[in-house]
Amino acid sequence: MKDTILTKLTSKFGEGSFVSSEFRNELTIVVPPDRINDVCRFLKEEPDLSFDFLADLCGIDMNTPEKRFGVIYNLFSLKNKYRIRLKVFVEEENPVVPTVTTVWGTANWHERETYDMFGIVFDGHPDLRRVYMPDNYEHHPLRKDFPLMGIPGSIPLPKK
Amino acid sequence: MGLEKALGDSFLLTKLDDAINWCRKNSLWPMPMGISCCAIEMMAFAGPRFDASRFGSEVFRFSPRQSDVMIVAGTTTYKMAKVVRKIYDQMPEPKWVIAMGACTSSGGIYRTYSVVQGIDQFLPVDVYVAGCPPRPDNLLNALILLQGKVQRGESKGTEPAYVGEPPAFARQRANV
């Protein structure tokens, strides 16, 4: 299955577009951000692959000067009983990733959560609002530079 | 009734305030503000095994308009704080608050950006109950302490009572 995926991806998108690695029989593919939507659609709609289930989508803060933020897509193919993981990395100055809500509807709330916690903007998302934090909150709590106890006074409390 | 038998033709004298407070303390209707796991112990407190009705407090009211004491049982987040305060504001005077459990009293294990480190930051608390969660007996103890406060006419802003360790110690230990 692993070879099928890699062969089909390279024949479709060309040699050298991806970096793939394998750890304990789990395939991980790093995709350039502008390609992610096409790759996801291809993986879902190609009959031999049919990764029809987006099991999870989450963000990561690598806390590095370059390619600080990442988005991780965990895909599952119900037909082939096979899982792969896609990764996308973006720069701190402009953390924008194209949305995959057009491919899997379930990505909607996952992307909202990732936006809420990391401040990664999903371009083309139909309703990119916060999920957990108050709507007018200015920070992104799961970033590595966010203090654990929060920023004092950033969320108002009712008067005693 | 036994009272007439004991007193015969005589009568009792008391202050009106004392009589009213005596009535109040024996029918404290709780507002169950069950926000997380402490709420399970709060339900046991009202159930037949621990039986809060022995102290006149079995009538849990889900309307703040009919309640006297709010039992805040659970982790209070900043988002929930507004709701808790609003419900407290809807309760008629006089009213009291029991902070049940470590999370409610001091943030508990949740030393994090989303949890209020003690509801005394936005509510006047009358009794703190330590524990994670406190046993229903501890909540009964808190109720009895609160009855003492009601009888003495103590309400908002008076010195709180404690079941177990005061939350200030826990906060001090964690440098919050």
Q: Give pLDDT tens digits for B60-112.
A: 989 999 999 999 999 999 989 999 999 999 999 889 999 999 999 988 888 88
Domain count of the fold of chain A: 1
Shortest distance between the Cα of B39 and any Cα of chain A, in A, equals 23
Mutate to test the interface with B, among A144, A154, A155 (most CBs of B within 10 A): A155
CB B108, CB B101: distance < 8 Å: yes
Structurally, chain B folds into a number of domains equal to: 1
Q: Please choose, from the candidates A21, A44, A62, A27, the residue with its C-alpha nearest in 3D space to the C-alpha of residue A107.
A: A44
Q: Is residue B107 part of a domain?
A: yes
**Which residue, B95, B107, B106, B47, is CA-closest to B71?**
B95
Look at the block and give the residue holding tokens 């407070």: B21
Cβ distance B163 to B130 under 8 Å? yes
ipTM over 0.90: no
Contacts of B176 in chain A (CB under 8 A): 149
Closest CA to B134 of B53, B58, B42, B71: B42
Total-model pTM: 0.81
Q: Do the domain assignments include residue A151?
A: no
Q: Is residue A137 assigned to a domain?
A: no
- Determine the structural domain holding residue A28 and report its residue range: 2-123
CATH number of the CATH domain containing B137: 3.40.50.12280
Q: Is pLDDT of A121 > 90?
A: yes
B14 burial (CB, 10 Å; 0-12 / 13-18 / 19+) is exposed
**Domain annotation covers residue A158:** no
User: CA angle at residue A124 from A123 to A125, to 5 degrees?
Assistant: 95
A106 belongs to a structural domain: yes
Q: State pLDDT tens for residues B16-32.
A: 888 899 999 999 999 99
CA pair distance A131, B145, nearest whole angstrom:
41
- Asked whether residue B32 is assigned to any structural domain, the reply reads no
- Show residues of chain A in contact with B112, CB under 8 Å: 148-150
CA distance B113 to chain A (A): 4
Cis peptide preceding B94, ω within 30 of 0: yes
Burial zone of A124 (CB within 10 Å; 0-12 exposed, 13-18 middle, 19+ buried): middle
For residue A132, the chain B residue with the least C-alpha distance is B79
Containing structural domain, residue B144: 38-173
The answer to whether residue B12 is domain-embedded is no
